[in-house]
Structure formats: structure tokens, C-alpha cells
């Protein structure tokens, strides 16, 4: 039988966080500071908009749902392995 996981896959989450961290370190090490400031200036202006606060609140809600304790889920419709 296939292993169906309906919850959060923490291995995927860890790999994704590692990739993002490696990208951030790579940018910090290899992009000159002036060029980085030139590119990130418009992003800093976007962060001041109310939309950024709404997206942040949405992401926090997703994180809270993903890390909240849940009751175990039993798949009672699976076929029996008695035969």
C-alpha cells in the first residue's frame, strides 16, 4: 500500500528552508553591496504597503495551521489485509 501523508511534510519544509538560506548567503557573499542596495530599494518601498502586512498575516496563519496539534487521522476505508 502507498504511504499517504496528508499532513505537513517536514523534510520538504527543511529542504526548502535550506535552499532559501543557501540562496540568501550566496547573494550576501557574491553581490556587491551597492548593487544589492540598488536592487532592494524598490522592495523596501513595497514592504511599507499595507499589502505586505496582509501577506505576512496570511503566512503567519498558514504557519499556525501547519504547526497546530491535530488529532490522529485514521483511514477506516482502507482494505483489510486479512486474506
- For the stretch 29-69, pLDDT in tens is 998 888 888 888 988 888 889 999 999 999 999 999 888 88
78, pLDDT greater than 80 = no
pLDDT category of residue 1 using cuts at 50, 70 and 90: very low
72 and 1 in contact (C-beta within 8 Å)? no
pTM tops 0.75, yes or no = no
- Whether 78 contacts 1, CB under 8 Å: yes
Return the residue matching grid coordinates 530599494. Answer: 41
Q: Are 4 and 13 in contact (CB under 8 A)?
A: no
Q: Three cell numbers at 9? A: 511534510
How far is residue 22 from each of residues 18, 28, 38, measured CA to CA in Å? 6, 10, 22
Per-residue pLDDT at 7:
61
Amino acid at each position: 500500500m502507498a504511504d499517504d501523508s496528508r499532513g505537513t511534510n517536514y523534510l520538504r519544509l527543511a529542504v526548502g528552508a535550506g535552499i532559501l538560506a543557501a540562496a540568501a548567503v550566496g547573494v550576501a557573499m557574491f553581490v556587491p553591496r551597492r548593487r544589492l542596495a540598488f536592487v532592494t530599494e524598490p522592495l523596501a518601498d513595497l514592504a511599507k504597503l499595507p499589502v505586505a502586512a496582509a501577506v505576512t498575516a496570511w503566512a503567519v496563519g498558514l504557519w499556525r495551521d501547519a504547526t497546530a496539534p491535530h488529532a490522529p487521522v485514521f483511514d477506516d476505508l482502507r482494505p483489510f489485509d486479512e486474506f
